[in-house]
Amino acid sequence: MKFSLEINEKQARAILKALEFYERLSMGQVNELAHHFISPFSDKINDENKYIIEEMSEKIKKEVFPELDSNSSFGIFSKNVSDDAKIMYDIQQVLRHCVAWSKNPSGDIFVDYDTPLQSSKEDMPVAKKIKMSDDE
């Protein structure tokens, strides 16, 4: 069974952020939790609470990933990373590639333009730009 989803660029970029966030957490980069909550709300969170959020993220990492040091994480291709995270990585790779080439058809040197890497055992997803008008 296959599905199709039509989204605009802003929605694609939001999905890309969510996919990357989940992937990073699944690889042991639990400090992303603190960054996710502190950065956008830094003016509302006092320094003591920022420290508490960072400390809690570190405690979660030690509990869930006891084999990892505080500054280390697994790679996406590690056997320790969930299949769901690998599938999300594949989706992110393909969608990021599609958005990049759609925005700049002449290409660039950034990783977004590289051939998407596959980390899961699933078939790679397919993403393509939908032409909405003659201007696109």
As a whole number, mean pLDDT of residues 114-122 equals 95
For 40-94, how does the pLDDT look when each residue is reduced to its tens digit (9 = 90+)?
A: 777 888 888 888 889 999 999 999 999 999 899 999 999 999 999 999 999 999 9
| Best CA proximity match to 60, nearest among 82, 89, 32 | 32
Q: What is the largest CA-CA distance in the chain?
A: 55
Confidence (pTM): 0.86
Asked whether residue 47 is domain-assigned, the answer is no
As a whole number, mean pLDDT of residues 5-22 equals 95
User: For residues 64 and 81, is the Cβ–Cβ distance under 8 A?
Assistant: no
Asked whether residue 10 is domain-assigned, the answer is no
Asked whether residue 84 is domain-assigned, the answer is yes
Asked whether residue 88 is domain-assigned, the answer is yes
C-alpha count within 13 angstroms, C-beta hemisphere, residue 109: 0
Asked whether residue 97 is domain-assigned, the answer is yes
- Angstrom distance (rounded) from CA 40 to CA 17: 14
Asked whether residue 2 is domain-assigned, the answer is no
Asked whether residue 98 is domain-assigned, the answer is yes
As a whole number, mean pLDDT of residues 20-34 equals 94
Quick one: how far is CA 131 from the chain centroid? 26
Tally of domains within the chain: 1
Q: What is the DSSP letter of 110?
A: S
Domain range holding 123? Answer: 15-27+78-136
Burial degree of 56 (CB within 10 A; 0-12, 13-18, 19+) = middle
Asked whether residue 43 is domain-assigned, the answer is no
